[in-house]
Structure formats: structure tokens, C-alpha cells
Structure 1
Amino acid sequence: MLFKIYYQESINEVPVREKTKTLYIEGDSERDVRKKISDRGYNIEFVQAVSGAFLDYEKQNEDFNVLEI
């Protein structure tokens, strides 16, 4: 399953909408995805499963890249 993660670069950074970044990662569950990126020091705001029409829409974005971990 594919997940979209909304995050801030640093765990010490206060979440600000304009500085929120996203990445895509494959995993079995939200817990699995959080474990995979736990060593990166990101301040994770939200993890969202992506599928169906929403996935098709996201694939149209030029910044769409699935992180390989």
C-alpha cells in the first residue's frame, strides 16, 4: 500500500503549513511506514493511505516520487 507523509524537516521545528513537505512511501501499515522513516528525524504531521482516484491524481504531480527504503 502507498502512503503520503506530511512532515517538517526537523523534529524541533514547529509545524507551519507553508514549510510542510510530503513524501510517498510503500508499506504494510501506518506503523510500518513510521518505523521506516523514524531514523530521519522528521516531525511527522500526518500519514495518509493513497489509493484509487486519489493515487491517480497524485501521480500527475511532477514531484511524485516513491521513496525506496
Structure 2
Amino acid sequence: MIFKVFYQENRSEVPVRENTKSLYVEASSEREVRHHLKDRNYNIEFVQLLEDKHLEYEQASQDFEVERLNGQ
């Protein structure tokens, strides 16, 4: 499954919408995504499962690059 993660780069700063970044992660669950990213200094705002038309839409973006977890 592909998840889109919305995050701020610095965990200690107050979240500001204009500074929100996103990345795509292939994992079997949201829990696995959060575990994978726990060592980064990210303030994770939201993890969204991408399916069907939404996934197709995101794949059409030039910024679409999936991060795969070790062992996948």
C-alpha cells in the first residue's frame, strides 16, 4: 500500500500550513509508516492511504517518488 505523509521538517516548531511537506511511503500499515519515520525529526501531521483514483492522481505528479521500507 502507498501512504502519503504530511509533515513539518522540525518537530519543535509550531506547524504552519505553508511549511507542510509530503512524502510517499510503501508499507503494509500506517503504524509501519510511523515506525519507519520515528527517527527523523519530523512532526507528522497526517498519514493518508492512497487508493484508486487518488493514487492515480498522485502518480501523475512529477514529485511522486515512493520510499520503500527495508525488506520490501
TM-score by structure 1 length?
A: 0.95
Report the Cα distance in structure 1 between the residues aligned to 2:27 and 2:13, rounded to whole angstroms.
26
Q: Cα distance, 1:13 vs. partner?
A: 1.4
For 2:32, the equivalent position in structure 1 comes to: 32
Report the Cα distance in structure 2 between the residues aligned to 1:13 and 1:49, rounded to whole angstroms.
26
CA RMSD of aligned residues (A): 0.7
What is the number of equivalent residue pairs in this alignment?
69
Query: What secondary structure sits across from 1:62 in the alignment?
Result: coil
For 1:13, the equivalent position in structure 2 comes to: 13
Structure 1 regions of 5+ residues with no counterpart? Answer: none
Q: Cα distance, 1:68 vs. partner?
A: 2.7
- Provide Cα deviations, 1:3-60, integer angstroms capped at 9, x if missing partner: 0000000110111110000000011111110000111110000000001000000011
Q: Percent identity?
A: 54
Structure 2 regions of 5+ residues with no counterpart? Answer: none
For the 8 Å contact 2:27–2:68, the answer to whether it is kept is: no
Residues 1-69 of structure 1: pairs in structure 2 closer than 5 A: 1-69=1-69
TM-score by structure 2 length?
A: 0.91
